């Protein structure tokens, strides 16, 4: 048997840093558009005068449409995953997606300085959100497949980068608001930030394949399959004592005569070890999607339900909450108490699963706690949401809203991370990839259902 090639070291943890940046880059589009909801609402929800006295306000429901048109591409490209990813090379999918995301971010930044009628601006923005998240869905799916070829800790690094993308966007918005520049210049600076971030992500990906550690792991799959086939054939013809398999004297089981015809007398009646080896491989055939789903359906339900609850009110309802302390604080309230609070606690919820894993995957308490998160929907709807028509305001203080948001986001990150990590543990190792693909689909399904539910829930406030 050939000696295994020793794996090179990740010098300076450079590959880890690159995958952190790649994780950050995958969720920049969603988070930068979501955090900038006040800018978009300022340009869209204008007042119109009728008969010189009456003010008519047109409501575009930007947060609802943005959430829906951001998550539908994720669901669509998750369904097209097996077709798209087999026919288009990794380089085109990842680098091409980053280039198009960069171009759409540049377009969004340019539109800050372009005066435009509200309906047209809304249409252009929605189209931009659709396309930028379509490329983002391809990018995210491709990078999940790529990081899966590396040791497990790099998946955690990649997810950590994703978790901090929202915090990065919220801090960028806070800096834009805190600057002395006018609102137009502040918005321009804000949207230039993801342009730079996407460019850094692109260069990081191009650098990745030049690193020895990455080359070893990313190219190992094809080389390993080729080497395994050679070793399998070699082991099938060489016995434990170093002699050729067959008769005890070491003769070939099915030798050929000088004229090339097989010598029947020399054929070993026992089963050929090569055939045994291949039969063993066939026995390790992956289970069907239905069989895998039967084992992980509880976790699939949990991840779907968590995101359904989260996206049904965030940001469609939460971004419309107003502070009870008008003044200078009003400019920072949503960025701090809604977006920054959500993203930091969501990241903490994901991170704490490395230390605490409760309840266990077999426990009936786990899905019960996931379902109990539905209580956050009425709690957030009873905060100081403006404008409102039906429900009363029960939680008027900023502290109450911030506390609810912290628990809401902490539980979201915690249960999502547990669900995604528990699912592959419920199946055989050979079926872990299928379980991961199924969980990704149900994750996207939960996001889309939540986005669709945000319309009626916002209308009920």
The whole domain housing 107 covers: 11-219
pLDDT for residue 255 is more than 80: no
Q: Are residues 25 and 164 in the same domain?
A: yes
Cα–Cα distance, 107 to 188 (Å, whole number):
11
237 in a domain, yes or no?
A: no
4 in a domain, yes or no?
A: no
Query: If phi over 0 gives left and psi between -120 and 50 gives alpha, with beta otherwise, what is residue 360?
Result: beta
Q: Are residues 206 and 297 in the same domain?
A: no
Q: Please give the pLDDT value at position 269.
A: 46
Q: Are residues 461 and 345 in the same domain?
A: yes
115 in a domain, yes or no?
A: yes
What percentage of the chain exceeds 90 in pLDDT?
A: 37
Beta bridge partners, 383, equal 395
Q: Are residues 318 and 204 in the same domain?
A: no
Q: CATH number of the domain that 304 lies in?
A: 1.20.1250
pLDDT for residue 263 is more than 50: no
pLDDT band at 405 (very low <50, low <70, confident <90, very high): very high
Beta bridge partners, 262, equal 256
Q: Are residues 207 and 306 in the same domain?
A: no
280 in a domain, yes or no?
A: no
Q: Please give the pLDDT value at position 49.
A: 53
pLDDT, mean over the chain: 81
Q: Please give the pLDDT value at position 276.
A: 52
CA atoms within 13 A on the CB side of 17: 10
253 in a domain, yes or no?
A: no
151 in a domain, yes or no?
A: yes
For the chain, the domain total comes to 2
Q: Are residues 215 and 294 in the same domain?
A: no
pLDDT for residue 236 is more than 50: no
Which own/partner pairs from 457-460 qualify as long-range (CB within 8 Å, at least 24 positions apart)?
457/312, 457/313, 457/316, 457/317, 457/377, 457/381, 458/61, 458/63, 458/64, 458/316, 458/317, 458/320, 460/381, 460/390, 460/391
102 in a domain, yes or no?
A: yes
Q: Please give the pLDDT value at position 221.
A: 47
pLDDT for residue 261 is more than 70: no
Window from 16-20, 232-236, 337-341 with minimum mean pLDDT: 232-236
pLDDT for residue 458 is more than 90: yes
Window from 169-173, 284-288, 327-331, 387-391 with minimum mean pLDDT: 284-288
Q: Are residues 28 and 130 in the same domain?
A: yes
Q: CATH number of the domain that 170 lies in?
A: 1.20.1250.20
Q: Please give the pLDDT value at position 343.
A: 92
CA atoms within 13 A on the CB side of 344: 13
Q: Are residues 206 and 348 in the same domain?
A: no
pLDDT band at 241 (very low <50, low <70, confident <90, very high): very low
End residue of a domain, out of 190, 219, 248: 219
End residue of a domain, out of 167, 184, 219: 219
Window from 71-75, 359-363, 406-410 with minimum mean pLDDT: 71-75
Could you report the per-residue pLDDT of 80-107, keeping only the tens digit for each?
776 776 788 888 989 999 999 999 999 9
Q: Are residues 304 and 211 in the same domain?
A: no
pLDDT for residue 311 is more than 90: yes
End residue of a domain, out of 176, 197, 219: 219
Please answer whether residues 353 and 420 qualify as being in contact, where contact means their C-beta atoms are separated by less than 8 angstroms.
no
183 in a domain, yes or no?
A: yes
Q: Are residues 187 and 325 in the same domain?
A: no
Could you report the per-residue pLDDT of 132-184, keeping only the tens digit for each?
999 988 888 888 778 877 887 887 788 778 888 888 889 988 888 888 777 78
Residue of higher predicted confidence among 398 and 279: 398
Q: Are residues 433 and 321 in the same domain?
A: yes
């Amino acid at each position: 048997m050939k000696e295994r090639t020793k794996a090179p070291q990740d010098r300076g943890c450079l590959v880890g840093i690159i995958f952190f940046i790649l994780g950050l880059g995958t969720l920049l589009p969603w988070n930068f558009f979501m955090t900038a909801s006040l800018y978009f609402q300022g340009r869209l929800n204008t007042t119109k005068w009728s008969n010189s006295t009456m003010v008519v306000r047109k409501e575009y429901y930007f947060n609802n449409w943005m959430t829906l048109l951001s998550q539908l591409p994720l669901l669509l490209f998750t369904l097209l995953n097996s077709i798209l990813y087999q026919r288009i090379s990794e380089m085109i999918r990842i680098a091409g997606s980053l280039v198009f995301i960069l171009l759409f971010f540049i377009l969004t930044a340019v539109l800050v300085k372009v005066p435009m009628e509200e309906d047209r601006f809304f249409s252009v923005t929605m189209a931009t959100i659709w396309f930028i998240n379509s490329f983002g869905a391809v990018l995210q799916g491709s990078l999940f497949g790529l990081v899966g070829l590396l040791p497990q800790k790099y998946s955690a690094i990649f997810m950590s980068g994703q978790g901090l993308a929202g915090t990065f966007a919220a801090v960028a918005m806070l800096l834009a608001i805190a600057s002395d520049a006018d609102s137009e210049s502040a918005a321009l600076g804000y949207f230039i930030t993801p342009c730079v971030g996407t460019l850094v992500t692109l260069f990081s990906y191009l650098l990745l394949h030049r690193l020895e550690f990455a080359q070893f792991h990313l190219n190992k799959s094809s080389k390993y399959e080729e080497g395994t086939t050679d070793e399998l054939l070699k082991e099938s013809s060489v016995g434990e004592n170093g002699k050729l398999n067959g008769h005890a004297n070491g003769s070939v089981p099915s030798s050929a005569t000088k004229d090339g015809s097989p010598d029947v007398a020399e054929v070993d009646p026992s089963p050929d070890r090569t055939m045994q080896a291949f039969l063993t491989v066939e026995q390790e055939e992956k289970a069907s999607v239905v069989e895998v789903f039967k084992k992980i359906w509880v976790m699939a339900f949990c991840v779907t339900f968590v995101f359904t609850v989260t996206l049904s009110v965030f940001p469609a309802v939460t971004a419309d909450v107003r502070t009870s302390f008008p003044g200078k604080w009003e400019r920072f309230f949503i960025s701090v108490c809604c977006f920054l609070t959500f993203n930091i606690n969501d990241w903490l919820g994901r991170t704490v699963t490395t230390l605490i894993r409760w309840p266990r995957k077999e426990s009936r308490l786990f899905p019960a706690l996931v379902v109990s998160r539905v209580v956050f929907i009425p709690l957030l709807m009873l905060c100081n949401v403006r404008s409102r028509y039906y429900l009363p305001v029960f939680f008027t203080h900023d502290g109450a809203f911030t506390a609810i948001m912290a628990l809401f986001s902490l539980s979201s990150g915690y249960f999502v991370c547990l669900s995604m990590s528990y699912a592959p543990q419920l199946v055989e190792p050979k079926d872990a990839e299928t379980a991961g693909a199924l969980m990704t689909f149900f994750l996207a399904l939960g996001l889309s259902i939540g986005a669709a539910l945000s319309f009626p829930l916002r209308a009920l406030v």
